[in-house]
Structure 1
Amino acid sequence: MLYLWIKALHIVSVVCWFAGLFYLPRLFVYHAQSEDRVSRERFVIMERKLYRGIMGPAMIATFVFGIWLLSLAPGFLSQGWMHAKLTLIVLLTGYHHMCGANVKRFARNENTRSHTYFRWFNEVPVVILLGIVILVVVKPF
């Protein structure tokens, strides 16, 4: 029964983390397009609060509950699908930190990338999520 509770909390954490990973780059698109000072200042606040207040805690909770799940079912660590999933999680964590670097860059008014770049950047977590879900549900390896 404990395993199912931890699994439920892990899924909720993942959903919250991905909500931020999907929304923050969309804010970057709008921020890169903004031309007035008031809009830029508003985006800086929104981006900082989303990154620090939601995405960071959700990522940490995802890791805590995920590691807890693995400690309760260590046999998963010997399966290829879990190795692939963990690789995607490492990539997603790197993407998360790239988002953080962009938050800082925008806050310093040093962004040099276009809204088009951020539109493409916004697609990365979709591809990673697709891979993770397929690996967890289908377990192809």
Structure 2
Amino acid sequence: MDQPWLKALHVAAVLLFAGGLLAQSLAVAAALRNDISPGVLARLRQWDQRVTVPALLTAWAFGIATALDNGWFGAGWLSAKLLLVVALTGLHGLQAGALRRLAFQAGRPPRGLGRAPAAVALALAAIAVLAVAKPF
């Protein structure tokens, strides 16, 4: 596949994943304040399963393909980016579990997830800077 297409598909998948992850983070934060309806939770869980998770898997696949194609593995900036991407992937899993438990009235999300929207925004900004500037 042509290099510009790999990058374009990676970026498109990342945008879908980032939007879904941020929506998920905001929903969990709202749930901590008892400020979200069950209907919104149900729709968000559907979106997560149908869009966010496939986008996450696609972003990983095209990101790895792009890095291999360009010989970037071993570069410091990519290692830092991957650390943040792994953290966001794990956060997605934690939040998906919290939303699933909320949907079945089986507890509340951990309080620490209330700060997730800000953490997601900062991590996404750092990832963008690392990917574009490749500072080290």
TM over 0.5, shorter chain:
yes
Q: CA deviation at 1:50?
A: 2.0
- In structure 2, runs of 5+ residues without a counterpart are none
User: Partner of 1:102 in structure 2?
Assistant: 98
Q: CA deviation at 1:111?
A: 3.2
1:27–1:136 distance in 2 versus 1, CA, 3 Å: same
Give the TM-score normalised by structure 1: 0.84
C-alpha RMSD of the superposition: 2.2
Q: Percent identity?
A: 26
Q: Aligned partners of 1:104 and 1:119: how far apart in 2?
A: 16
Q: Say whether 1:5 aligns with 2:5.
A: yes
1:108–1:20 distance in 2 versus 1, CA, 3 Å: same
Give the TM-score normalised by structure 2: 0.87
2:56 maps to amino acid: M
2:17 maps to amino acid: W
Pairwise mapping of residues 71-82 of structure 1 onto structure 2 (< 5 A)?
A: 71-73=68-70, 75-82=71-78
User: Partner of 2:41 in structure 1?
Assistant: 44
- In structure 1, runs of 5+ residues without a counterpart are none
1:99 maps to amino acid: Q
Comparing 4-13 and 24-33, the one that deviates more = 24-33
1:88 and 1:128 in contact (8 A); partners too: yes
Question: Over alpha carbons, which structure has the higher Rg?
Answer: 1
